[in-house]
Each structure stands twice: as structure tokens, then as C-alpha cells.
Amino acid sequence: MEYQFQLVTQLKEALGDGVIQHHEKTQNPNEICLTVKPTDIRKLAEFLKQSKNFKFMMDIASVHYPEREKSLEAVYQFFNLDQNKRVRVKIPHREGEKIQSITPVYRAANWFEREAFDMMGIQFEGHPNLTRILCHHQFKGHALRKDYPARGNQVCNTPEPFTFPPLAMDPEDDIVTTQRMTINLGPSHPATHGTFRWFCELEGETITRAKTEIGYLHRCFEKMCETHKYNQIIPYTDRLNYCSAPMNNSGFCRAVEQLLGIEVPERAQYIRVILNELSRVIDHFVCIGTTAVDMGALSTFWYCFKQRENVYTLFEKLCGNRMLTSITRVGGVFGDLDDNWKRECLAVVKGIRETVDEVDGLLSNNKIWLNRMRDTGVVSAEAAIDYGYTGPCLRASGVAYDIRKLEPYWFYDTFDFEVPTQKEGDNFARYKQRIDEQRQSLRIVEQALAKIPNGPTQVNDPLIVLPPKHEVYSNIEALMNHFMLIINGVKPPKGDIYSYTEAANGELGFYIVSDGTGYPYRVKVRAPCFPIYSSFEEVVQGGLIADAVATLGQMNVIAGELDR
Amino acid sequence: MKALSPLEEIPIFTTQIKAFINWTRKNALWPLPFGTACCGIEYMAVVGAHYDVSRFGAEVVRFSPRQSDLLIVAGTITEKMAPVLRNIYEQMPEPKWVLSMGVCASSGGFYRAYHTVQGIESIVPVDIYVPGCPPTPEAVIQGIIRLQEKIQRGDTPQQRLLAKKKAAELTAGDQVKDPIE
């Protein structure tokens, strides 16, 4: 805790005594939690970024405590990559009080602040465009307030109109050469893979201004979390990033387990590693395959989806569902893999490795692919960090940030794998990064299959996991435990936690506030593609509209995770 | 070999023209995949090589509503998306059908929440519901086959509506007879 106390002392010296109202430890030894006033946050953020190297602004969560005098709370997460330190800043404030916006300091804050405004009604002073982001434009009220009913549907009868503000034009300019065209793409457009809508202002085929609109798949994950018990939330987490469902499951369960202070059995950790790495591989396959379709390379898509089917068959054998597996439980995993499954998995891994080589061979030296992907959608390392990029997109810009290496969980430190990085930060680098990561993930799967120990797959605690079915039917104690757990749910102690895992798109964070009951008080997901997509408007500016499609594909924005 | 007259060469079936039209319609569905969420990804698997929906004559995926006659709503429809879905449905030429893929589109699924439409039947008329979260590709193919059976029977609201319009025209004293309907 040495560093944390030093930090608090330095903050007090630099910003004055009254700024840090309160500081405390958290479950994470690398983290410290500070409480500040709404008017001090920009000063603090500037100091953290410039003097203390906290280059990343990871998340802004918001919590509503109707019974408190300061009923709203904004919770910031700052991250220092060089020293692996985190700072959580809480700003409790009254209704109507304004928080200083930190958008001038961190560009990542732009969308996070809009989200906090939309969901909770927190006002940010100095934000360039504080409008709704997830709910539709005719929505009244703030959905995540405790007094807003979960079923309070409000009908939207027209899509939001949008026009770019007119440019100041010289009246003597030739109308033909200066005329711009505005086009609308989406929300149902083949290149947007779902539900994104963007407007571009074009000069010829070059994008001069772009604007994105999200929220078309906002299906209220966070509100649903507040009305369900911890284990009931697991199926909802599947549907965040539906291309790699087991990673969301296990990320959420890890957060609750950390809140409970339990460690899951070794075998369960190995199963999670195997499932996670297989999902990482197929997530990257979907990303590469669909981008290739958009670029006109249909055969690559068939190659990628063939292997994806094989992995889904494996998942179906183990979990019962192809896509949305829900196999993880708080306290371990449900079900177990046998030798037969292991053999089949090894065969699939072998097949995938061949397919990765094939895809690499089809695309990496393909002239059309190179022309389309090289030097398009370039993001420099500084911009990537400022926007809060994580995962493959950040590593493609040359920053080797991988939670599996930096803060290993589930025996990731015992596996022999590398964190590949690229330098260029363009679409081709992102594609290449994904191919390299797939190879590393396959190595991890093989090692995990070889090393997986025998033993239980769930912790032995009747207050956390359900007893086995045969005992429930034959013995009264197990029946009662089953009954109590179903009725009451898992009850973590009071407190809050920000827990993070390396998902396919980057850092998947869960900020959970527990009030000691079976229902979480608040769950906030830090979706990795939310900050990545917030940079889209700027990244595509000045490029061709056809290249914007490639950029969107390689950012791998998944609507379920983006809009929640 | 004895030369056959054209009538002997071609096997002849007699049928009603209505049945023939329905038969051609059911085997040439052009779906518009309105994929919004997880089901959209699973629909890719339906079209993909392993399940290959082209065996059932419904693989010509069109992203333009003007070119399609089967709207496959694959995924959750939110309140924000609802007007867009309605707009797209109205742009499709008649006769048109709607397949609701997955429980989210059919009933809102387990998202009983403030921003999710609780079933798309409040926005567009649905011909076939496919349950599942997400439905397996086999289930989607079964849904398409069931829809084809309905189209063959002329039993979908769209076809009934067309027939009704035609009947109304006839009773109004319009003497022009269209042999197709």
C-alpha cells in the first residue's frame, strides 16, 4: 500500500488539503478509492494524467441512492499502465448539482459522461454535447434511477432526425466544387452488422464529417441486473458480446467471486481458460470473416465459419447450447468435461490452426486486401490510449496491454504464451493482430488441456453453489440448501468492486455495488467496444467512405455489448 | 426411335393457376435479414455452408427491402428500432411475409424492460414465430418450411388480403379479370 499513500500525499500537496475528502483501500491491492467534490474532478484528472501517468480513463459509472442526501454518485476509474495502478474516484453529489466534465482531459470521457447523463441524469458542466446516447430521443426521465419502473416502456414513433450544422461558406465559392452530400447509413445496413447508424458528409467519396448514433440495441441489461439475483444474471451477460459468450459469463462471475472473497477450484479455472480462449478464437474469426465479406472476399467467410461451427459443436456438447453457453456459475462452472471432449477439442484446435494458416495465406499477401486495409483507419498509440482503447485494437497500435500478462488470473501466468503487438495502428495491423492472437490462444488451449487437474468444479459452500441433484432428491439437508439458495440467492457482503478480465475486444469491466441482499444494487459494464467506437467519428474523417466500412469491421463493435 | 410429339415428350400436370403461383412463390423466397442481435449472428450460420438454407430456396439474402419478400426479424427490437422496422416493412413489395426469429422478437424474451418492444406483432404482422434464444439453425429452417407450407395453402394474411382486394374489385363491377389471382 506504499504507493497509494504516497499518491494521496502527493495529491494533497499538489491540489490542496481539501480536495481529497476521503480515501480508502479496496479489494484490489493495486487500487485506491478517493472521494472528491464535483468541482475538483477536472483538477484531479489533469494532475493524474499529466504528473502521475494515469493515461487511461477506463469507465464512468453512476449510482443512485435515493435515501441519501447526496443522492447521486459518479464513479470514475483511472488506470496507470506503466506501474499497473488504478484509482477509483467517487463523486457523491446532490440532485441538480453539476460535475465538471473531464472531456477536455480524456477524450474517452465524452461518451461515458453522456451515458451517465442519459441513464442517471447526472449533469456535466462543460461537456460539448450532453444529449441522450442509449435511450431514444423521445424518452422522458432517467431509466436507471431507482424510482424508474423496469417496465416503464415509452414509445418512440419516429427515428431521430439529424443534420450537420451548416459550414460557413464563402458566397463566391463555386457551388459545384464546394457542395457536400449528407448520407445516412443504417441502422439496418449490411455493412453495419446490426444496429449502428451513422451520418456522413461527403465531398466526392471523402468523408468530411461523421456522426454516429447508437442505442438501437439498448435492451436494459443494467436495469435487468437490478431485478434479478446474481446467478440469474449470468444468461443476461451471455448476450453482451454474443460472439464470445463464455468470456462475459466468467468475467461477471469473477467479479462476484471477488466480492464474496472466494477462489474457485483449479479445475473450474482451467475449464474457464479453455472456454475463454476458444471463444477468443471464434470471436476473431467472426470479425475477420465479416470484414472480409464487406471487402468482397466471400470465401474467407466460409473458411472462418466452418471452424466456428466446430467450436460450437464442442460448446453444445459441454453446455447444451451452441452460442450462449451460460456454463459458468458463481463459484465455479456447471458441468465437467471428459476425456472424450478433450480429445475432440484437441482435434478441433488442430483444424483451427490449419484454418488460421489458410486465412492468413488467403488474405495477408492478397493485393486487394492489402490495398484496402493498409493505411486506412489509422489510430496512433496516444490517440488510442486517450480514447480508452483496450484489447487487440490497442495492441495493434503498439501498446502491449494485456490483463492476462499484467495481472494474471486463472493460472494465466503458468501458460507459455506471448502478447503480440503491431506498430502501424491501421486496419491491416488490427487484422494481423487478431491472427497472431488466435495462434497464441490455441497454444493456451493445448497447454490447458494437457495440464488440467482432476477435482471438483465448484466450491464446496452451500450458500454459494447448488448441491448436486442426486443429493437434493435423497437428502433433506441438500434439499433445504437448494431451496434457500434459490429463494435468497448468493449474498455478497456490502461493498463495491471494479473487476476486469481480458475479453476478446479488450478490458471487460464489471462495476458491482452490493447492498448485502441477493440482488445487486447496481451493475455497470465497461464494454470494451464502447470507448473504441466513440473514436469512430474522428478516425474515419478524411478517409473514403468505403474504408470506413473496413474500419468499422476491424474495430469489431458488437452491438449487444455497445448498447447493453 | 420413334419421334414423340411435343405433348408426349413433356409430362403434363394439371393444377389450378393459384396453386402454381403459390408453389413458385414458396420456393423463391428472398429474405431480408433484419439482424439486430445474437440471432443475427446465428442467422449467418443458417446461410453458412453447414446448414445451407439454399436447399430450401431461401438463400438469396437481400439487404434492400425493395428486393425482398420475407422479412426475417432476427434479434431484439428496441423502442428506438421500432419505427425503423415498420418503415422497412412498408417498403417491401407485396406479397410479403415476416418470420420472427427468437424469443426477443416474438415476445421481448427475458428483457421485460423499459426499452424493449414486447413482441414485434405490435409493429408488423408476423406469419411464423421461431422460438429459442437463439433458435438453432435447424429450428429456423423448420420455420421456413412451415412458412412455405402456409404460402402453398395461400393461408397467410398477405395472400388473404390480396384475394380479398381482388374479390372486392370484382363485386364492384370491374369486368377486367386477372387470371393470376
Give residue-wise pLDDT tens across range A28-46.
Answer: 888 888 888 888 888 888 8
Looking at the partner chain, which of A156, A189, A323 has a beta carbon nearest the beta carbon of B42?
A323
Percent of chain A whose pLDDT exceeds 70: 97
Indicate the SS3 state at residue A439.
helix
Contact indicator for A326, B133 with CB cutoff of 8 Å:
no
The pTM assigned to this predicted structure is 0.88
Contact B81 A286 (CB under 8 A): no
Interface test with B, best of A118, A136, A155, A188 (most B CBs within 10 A): A188
List CB contacts (< 8 A) between A222 and chain B.
Answer: none
> What does the alpha-carbon distance between residue A534 and residue A387 come to, in Å, rounded to a whole number?
8
Of A116, A9, A91, A109, the C-alpha closest to A49 is A109
Tens-digit pLDDT profile for residues A176-186: 666 778 888 87
> What does the alpha-carbon distance between residue A12 and residue A6 come to, in Å, rounded to a whole number?
10
Contact indicator for A482, A476 with CB cutoff of 8 Å:
no
The reply to whether A152 touches chain B by the CB within 8 Å rule is yes
Please give the residue of chain A at the shortest CA–CA distance from B133: A324
The reply to whether A559 touches chain B by the CB within 8 Å rule is yes
Contact A217 B81 (CB under 8 A): yes
Contact B76 A217 (CB under 8 A): yes
Contact A194 B104 (CB under 8 A): no
Please give the residue of chain B at the shortest CA–CA distance from A308: B45
The pLDDT confidence band at residue A299, using thresholds 50, 70 and 90, is confident
Compute CA B137 distance to the chain's CA centroid, rounded to the nearest angstrom. 16
List CB contacts (< 8 A) between A136 and chain B.
Answer: 78-80, 115
DSSP B177: P
List CB contacts (< 8 A) between B134 and chain A.
Answer: 323-324
Grid cell 461537456 is found at A127
> What does the alpha-carbon distance between residue A266 and residue A217 come to, in Å, rounded to a whole number?
37
The pLDDT confidence band at residue A75, using thresholds 50, 70 and 90, is very high
Domain A221-563 fold is Cytochrome-c3 Hydrogenase; chain B (1.10.645)
Contact indicator for A122, A74 with CB cutoff of 8 Å:
yes
The reply to whether B84 touches chain A by the CB within 8 Å rule is yes
List CB contacts (< 8 A) between A236 and chain B.
Answer: 110
The reply to whether A134 touches chain B by the CB within 8 Å rule is yes
> What does the alpha-carbon distance between residue A60 and residue A121 come to, in Å, rounded to a whole number?
13
User: Over 70: is that where the pLDDT of A155 sits?
Assistant: yes
Q: Tally the residues of chain A.
A: 564
Interface test with A, best of B80, B91, B133 (most A CBs within 10 A): B80
Tens-digit pLDDT profile for residues B112-150: 888 888 889 888 999 999 998 889 889 999 999 999 999
User: Over 80: is that where the pLDDT of A164 sits?
Assistant: no
The pLDDT confidence band at residue A200, using thresholds 50, 70 and 90, is confident
Residue A167 class from Cβ within 10 Å (0-12 exposed, 13-18 middle, 19+ buried)?
exposed
Residue A22 class from Cβ within 10 Å (0-12 exposed, 13-18 middle, 19+ buried)?
exposed
Contact A136 B115 (CB under 8 A): yes
State the smallest CA–CA distance between residue B158 and chain A in angstroms. Answer: 24
Contact A309 B81 (CB under 8 A): no
Contact A216 B45 (CB under 8 A): no
CATH number listed for the domain at residues B29-171? 3.40.50.12280
The pLDDT confidence band at residue A206, using thresholds 50, 70 and 90, is confident
Q: What are the average pLDDT values for consecutive 10-residue runs of chain B, which has 181 residues?
A: 62 82 88 87 83 85 87 90 89 89 89 88 90 89 91 83 83 59 49
The end-to-end CA distance of chain B, in Å, is 43
Compute CA A361 distance to the chain's CA centroid, rounded to the nearest angstrom. 31
Torsion over CA: A110, A115, A120, A121 (sign): positive
* Homologous superfamily, domain A2-125: NADH:ubiquinone oxidoreductase Nqo5 subunit (3.30.460.80)
Higher pLDDT residue, A361 or A192?
A361
Of A540, A366, B40, the C-alpha closest to A554 is A540
Give pLDDT, residue A300: 87
List CB contacts (< 8 A) between B101 and chain A.
Answer: none
Interface test with A, best of B32, B38, B85, B122 (most A CBs within 10 A): B38
| Interfacial B residues in 121-160 facing A (CB < 8 Å) | 133-134, 136
List CB contacts (< 8 A) between B63 and chain A.
Answer: 188-190
Grid cell 451515458 is found at A115
List CB contacts (< 8 A) between A157 and chain B.
Answer: 83
Tens-digit pLDDT profile for residues A52-68: 888 889 899 999 998 98
